[in-house]
Structure 1
Amino acid sequence: MSHWSRRAAMTVASVLGVAALVAATPVTANATGPVTLEASYTSVSYGWAKVERWYDSNPGYITANYPADGRLDQTGQRRTFFGNVARPAMGRYLLSYAPGWNTNAKPTPVLLVPGAYEHADMAWADPSTSHIGCGASSCPNTGLMQALSGAGYKVFALTFPHSAGNNYNHAQQIRNAVRTIRSATGAPKVDVVAWSMGAVAARMYVSGVKKPWGSPYGGDVRKLILIGGPNNGWDWTFRHGTYPAILTYAECGGAAIGGTAALAQNCYGTLYSHPELTAYITPAGDYFPGIRQMLRRWDATYPLDPADFDAYTTYNGGVGTYSSSLGINYAIGQGSVIGPIRSAGVPASISTYLLCGNTADIPYPWHNEHTGPSDGTIFTASCTDPGGIGAVTANTTLSNLNHLKLAWDTSAKNQIATWLN
């Protein structure tokens, strides 16, 4: 075994020795605490009418860690709205109000829920501001928010404190936002449009998948539109060997995302170890729980590509030529929620719509999902999978759209507006 391989193996062994103890630590159940409005802002960019900061004082919220390099910090106006705090506590969240939220004629309000690494501004109001790109070489500066608001809908959007945070927390914040919107508009129910990782949290809320401290589904969602959702899970961050780590490790030139499988990665001939950038719970903490919670194996359907360096060891665990990994089964065992939400089921009383893409052309440096038909990130077969959904009213795959375009392309916006109507 080479010197590098011995070091990588030691990294795996040291994390294995302690991470099991971390993963086994139970979350304390607590009674639900009151939800309070902390601040309201009317001087807002990107076309919003106002933004409110809310705080759920429930002590059960699960702590997640923020990477020290600031890649998940709140910045710009969102940092201001979070009380000039870059790393908010998990109980805090922002609710953005679109123009016409209190005057538009459509009777059922719409709540927009962003995906991983996103927030209300870049996901729904100005895709050109996204730090991971919009999925095209030229990006629009308006999005689904403006389209729906202009069509007469009362539109709202969530921003979570941690953009790759714990979906048990996010599901409760969706519940809180729905209650706030109903109170503000007088509507008996709300339509929820959720994108990517946000689809997982939305399904958790309506399916009643929660911790003991969480509140149950309130019967207050009329329609559920899931955009690019990993409805039968996702394994991109594990199946492509070193590529996700290269996009994650700053030493390799990446720093935009996280939740990689690589405990250690060789960057330009030097071995670096960043357990805090992985999808695992490690002695360093739990930095990307939302990524881990979307995991499910797909290798039996779409075999790994041997051209992806270290694909086998990354997926199954072990030391490869350039990296080391604990493997996808280890991460799934630390808390994937795909099985629980499919077993719990979306109530048949909710009209559910699945909107998917089939084009893997997200611009470089993204490593497009190429081992099976996909939108560049999510297998199309996962997005279109109706398992655990009581009433799938429509299941549509739009041609020539990748995962990012699904949130803003004209054909996608028109489809969503048609379904809401």
Structure 2
Amino acid sequence: MKKKRSIISLCLSALFSLMLLFTSFVKPVNAAPTITLEQTFTATANPDVVGKWSEVERLRVNDTNITQELFITDNEHKTSTIVKGFGNDASPNSQLFLLHKFAGWNTATKPYPVLFVHGAGSDGDFAVDPERNGTTPGLAQSLAADGYAVFAITFAHPHGDNYIQREVLAAAIQRIKDITGKTKVDLIAHSKGNMSSRMYVSDVKKSWGTAFRNDVRRYIQLGAPNGGIDYTFRNTWAAWGIMATGAFGPVPYTYMTIYGWPTDTAYHSIYSAADGGGAYPGQAQMLARWDNVYDLDIFEQDWYTTYYGGWGYYSYSEGIDYAINQGGNLINTLKNTPVKSTVQLATLAGSENVINGVVMEDDGPSDGVVFIASATMTDPMISGGATLLEKKVLPINHVQLAYDPTALTWIKTQLSR
């Protein structure tokens, strides 16, 4: 009997050891974080939040890896409907997001819901009020009139970390699937919104991130920084305009001479919190050098030291390479990670570089912010088998790409193929 028990014990011990060995080779699967619906705003009860939408939800992604990001006064939310939607908080926690629903979202005839992803310094209201004048209709009105269920997202931080916004976007897609019963959505992303969108459909994420769930049918890019941008370091006069007027956007300097007075501007810089910045993390992640393609303008203030680093006559810059490294060289990662083969892709770029109130990018053909060569850099995305439906350049600027009638016609064509 003792001998039998000994044999059984040895067998159990061996089995336990094999189980430990097996589990050591099995990669754990990251479960998607839960989503909490905090509040639903309706047109009748909350018109000052809903605006032109039929309903707005405030949701929370319950993931402790997503923490509060740094705000400064200039990059807090300014749109009253958005601030009220976030509980009268202009600098909300990055776990939060708003999901905007346009009228007819629950009775739409088209088979796939559409989610609009806004760019830097913007919000979901851009889809219904692109010129912020209350009268110019946007993408949402146009698509809904054709039978699409239209949604838009507002991220908590207008210039937030793109890894964080990727996770929030994944949660928004899941929420849309849950409330519509659909298995896939179509993404339309403008400007910086293409960072989180492309990261999701390419499965570029942190170790704790949510894996791509094959729930995006078509991904439509508008003014995407596919090859990165160097606007902040190339167009130096823009920095003085930002600091003098309180406009949104990062500067490449930690010190500037403003109105003849040496000023510490690190808090407004594109660099990390370690250098006194930290309020524009998503901007550093979009950086890439283009000086080997388009020459720098020697008539820009402190042009050389701004781009390559050092003290100029009126400023100090750490240089673009320093900022790229702080951003993790994310553009390079994306260039080396194709879009998943099940996704269909369409890319729209602009060739008009004049934007009211913005220092135009004129060192090379651009939409005023993004070089055409960057926006149309699609080969890395389709190298894994993703389908490129169309790549087109229209004579409109970066902002107009999301609402100009010619752009809307092109978008509808891509959705209906």
TM range (shorter): 0.7 to 0.9
Paired letter, 2:325? G
- CA distance, structure 2, for counterparts of residue 174 and residue 352 of structure 1: 18
1:388 aligned counterpart, secondary structure:
helix
Instruction: Give 2:284's aligned residue.
Output: 292
Contact 1:236 1:377 in 2 (8 A): yes
Instruction: Give 2:11's aligned residue.
Output: none
**Aligned partner (choices 328, 331, 352) of residue 323 of structure 2:** 331
- CA distance, structure 2, for counterparts of residue 409 and residue 362 of structure 1: 13
Instruction: Give 1:357's aligned residue.
Output: 350
| CA offsets 1:203-248 (integer angstroms, 9 cap, x no match) | 011111111121111100000001000000000000122x121132
Instruction: Give 2:37's aligned residue.
Output: 37
- CA distance, structure 2, for counterparts of residue 320 and residue 221 of structure 1: 47
Per-residue deviation, 1:360: 0.7
- CA distance, structure 1, for counterparts of residue 130 and residue 174 of structure 2: 27
Query: Relative to 1, partners in 2 of residues 1:310 and 1:382: Cα closer, same or farther, differing over 3 Å?
Result: same
Instruction: Give 2:266's aligned residue.
Output: 275
**Aligned partner (choices 127, 142, 151) of residue 146 of structure 2:** 151
Contact 2:346 2:389 in 1 (8 A): yes
Per-residue deviation, 1:141: 2.3
Give the RMSD, CA atoms, in angstroms.
Answer: 1.6
Instruction: Give 2:70's aligned residue.
Output: 65
- CA distance, structure 2, for counterparts of residue 385 and residue 70 of structure 1: 32
| Bigger mean CA deviation after superposition, 150-159 or 79-88 | 79-88
Instruction: Give 1:13's aligned residue.
Output: none
**Aligned partner (choices 389, 394, 405) of residue 393 of structure 1:** 389
**Higher RCO structure, 1 or 2 (CA under 8 Å, sep 6+):** 1
2:225 aligned counterpart, secondary structure:
coil
Larger Rg: 2
Paired letter, 1:47? K
**Aligned partner (choices 297, 303, 327) of residue 305 of structure 1:** 297
Contact 2:74 2:247 in 1 (8 A): no
| CA offsets 1:61-107 (integer angstroms, 9 cap, x no match) | 1542000x354235412122112222111100000001110001001
Contact 2:75 2:121 in 1 (8 A): no
1:129 aligned counterpart, secondary structure:
coil
TM-score w.r.t. length of structure 1:
0.86
Paired letter, 1:396? K
Contact 2:269 2:277 in 1 (8 A): no
Percent of residue pairs identical: 38
Q: Does 1:244 align with 2:248?
A: no
Q: Does 1:103 align with 2:99?
A: no
- CA distance, structure 2, for counterparts of residue 230 and residue 107 of structure 1: 29
Contact 2:58 2:86 in 1 (8 A): yes
- CA distance, structure 1, for counterparts of residue 176 and residue 258 of structure 2: 48
Structure 2: runs of 5 or more not aligned: 1-29
Per-residue deviation, 1:202: 0.2
| CA offsets 1:157-190 (integer angstroms, 9 cap, x no match) | 0000010001111111111111111111111210
Contact 2:110 2:148 in 1 (8 A): yes
Per-residue deviation, 1:32: 5.2
**Aligned partner (choices 125, 128, 134) of residue 128 of structure 2:** 125
1:420 aligned counterpart, secondary structure:
helix
Q: Does 1:56 align with 2:56?
A: no
Q: Does 1:83 align with 2:74?
A: no
Instruction: Give 2:6's aligned residue.
Output: none
Aligned length: 376
Instruction: Give 1:366's aligned residue.
Output: 358
Q: Does 1:265 align with 2:261?
A: no
Query: Relative to 1, partners in 2 of residues 1:33 and 1:351: Cα closer, same or farther, differing over 3 Å?
Result: closer
| CA offsets 1:127-161 (integer angstroms, 9 cap, x no match) | 2228xxxxxxxx95210010001111000000000
Contact 2:219 2:345 in 1 (8 A): yes
Per-residue deviation, 1:271: 1.5
| CA offsets 1:324-356 (integer angstroms, 9 cap, x no match) | 100000000012311112212111211100011
Per-residue deviation, 1:357: 0.2
Paired letter, 1:146? Q
